Amino acid sequence: MKSGSWPSIGLIYLYGVLGSASLSKVIPLQADFARHLGASPGQFALLMALLSVPPAFFATISGSIADRVGARKVMIASALMGVVANGLGYYATSLTAFQGIRLLEGFVLAGVYSSAPALIMATAGDARRGRAMAFWSTYTPVGISLGMLIGSHFTGTDGWRGAYGVQGVMFAVLAVAGLLLPVPVAAARAAGKKPGLLSTYTQAGPLRVALTFGALVVMGLGTNTVFPSWYAQHHGVTVAAASSMYAGLNFMMIVGGLLAAMLLGRGLGPLSLFRMLAVLAGISALGLYLPGVATAATITALVVWLLASGAATAVVTSSLPRVVRDPAQGAAAAGLLSQVAALTTFVTPQLWVGVLGLGAGAWQGFLVIIALGWAAALLLLPVRQREITAVSR
């Protein structure tokens, strides 16, 4: 497969999509975990959260390892680990076993989320790298949808563990297909001493990009968490109906990411685009949370919010290759971004649910969080970004 070609980038993208499917494939199976394994709602919530533990604590280290042994090798190894984890899930018979499997799946995500974007940065040429990274940023909503589709096919059946079997087979196919991925020229191998495993933490550029991404996670995940309940309260529908409506429109994030990739490819500056997106997001937030807004206006505001959120994520992700000081640290920088995202994922739902508990005045708290989040993102996003040629092994 030609290095830096769109087919190569597409195959790398599929690793991110299938990894993200691990996040959501168990969601439709909650009743099955309760019926067959006696899992309480709290135990199921813990099962969901365990997946984020390895990326939260080990993603940067995983990326540093990928920088040393090669991003391509780590991707294939992660896919094989996914085969093992899902194979175990297919035969597991206890909740404790599934909790251990969930942690193992978390290490799969830590490997994929750090090595896959690093391989894109290493192989895509200067003219394509920004667009490729913006395209990469859309893997999460696509993967979430895939996981929900896999899980919903088996929910309520005696073969509910088949969701693990299907994903295991998909990981096996990706592991084999990964052999077609290009091996970049290891120009950095001759650079001398390898950077330390945690040296990315000392680099202002990657750290600022990761923190900017974390600010977007706080706003985006927070809205995911509370908007269905808020919408149901103010528009006379059930939470289930509001959740379905939100899920149906979530694809607009993908559209936003692709639009950002197109605009960046046509020469629009990342900071200029990011500022425009901040304005759009701020205006749409008023439509989302101000009491008394008509239903049609709120839905329109939600579409704009999701478009802006997806595009902003693409802008931040595409800026990563420009700020890495050492070309040999692309995976570590991607791992740092993933680690910050996982850490903010832990605290965001509690923050927003706490504000939701304020009742009628909650809308003010939501808007304050969004205003502070965008202000932080605009201040943190690096303005002077040094274009580099990323390399891997």
Instruction: Sketch out the chain's domains with CATH numbers.
Output: 6-191 (1.20.1250.20), 199-380 (1.20.1250.20)
Question: Would you state the pLDDT for residue 2?
Answer: 84
Instruction: Let me know: does 312 contact 277? Beta carbons within 8 Å.
Output: yes
Instruction: Let me know: does 75 contact 88? Beta carbons within 8 Å.
Output: no
Question: Would you state the pLDDT for residue 185?
Answer: 63
Within the chain, residue ranges assigned H as helices are 6-24, 30-37, 41-50, 53-69, 71-91, 95-123, 126-136, 139-154, 162-177, 204-235, 239-249, 252-265, 270-289, 295-323, 330-356, 362-380
Q: Which amino acid is at 14?
A: L
Alpha carbon distance 27, 384 (integer Å): 42
Token pair of 193, please? 């001493």
**Could you give phi then psi for residue 126, rounded to 5 degrees?**
-55, -40
Placement of tokens 């690093």 in the chain? 118
Q: How far apart are the first and last CA of the chain?
A: 16
**Per-residue pLDDT tens over the stretch 290-325:** 988 999 999 999 999 999 999 999 999 888 877 775
**Per-residue pLDDT tens over the stretch 248-298:** 888 899 999 999 988 988 888 888 999 999 999 999 999 999 988 999 999
Token pair of 168, please? 């295991």
Alpha carbon distance 249, 302 (integer Å): 8
Alpha carbon distance 359, 361 (integer Å): 6
Instruction: Let me know: does 23 contact 142? Beta carbons within 8 Å.
Output: no
Q: How many residues does the chain have?
A: 393
Question: Would you state the pLDDT for residue 228?
Answer: 86
Question: Would you state the pLDDT for residue 325?
Answer: 59
Alpha carbon distance 50, 110 (integer Å): 13
Instruction: Let me know: does 72 contact 119? Beta carbons within 8 Å.
Output: yes
Q: Work out the angle between the directed axes of helices 362-380 and 270-289 (0-180°, nearest 10).
A: 180
Q: Which amino acid is at 177?
A: A
Burial 5-35 (b: 16+ CB within 10 A, else e): eeebbebbbbbbbbbbbbbbbbebbbebbee
Q: Which amino acid is at 28?
A: P
Question: Would you state the pLDDT for residue 388?
Answer: 34
Dihedral sign, Cα of residue 313, residue 315, residue 321, residue 325: negative
Alpha carbon distance 237, 232 (integer Å): 5
Question: Would you state the pLDDT for residue 386?
Answer: 44
In the predicted model, residues of the chain with pLDDT beneath 70 are 185-203, 325-330, 383-393
Alpha carbon distance 287, 358 (integer Å): 19
| DSSP state for residue 175 in the 8-state scheme | H
Question: Would you state the pLDDT for residue 328?
Answer: 58
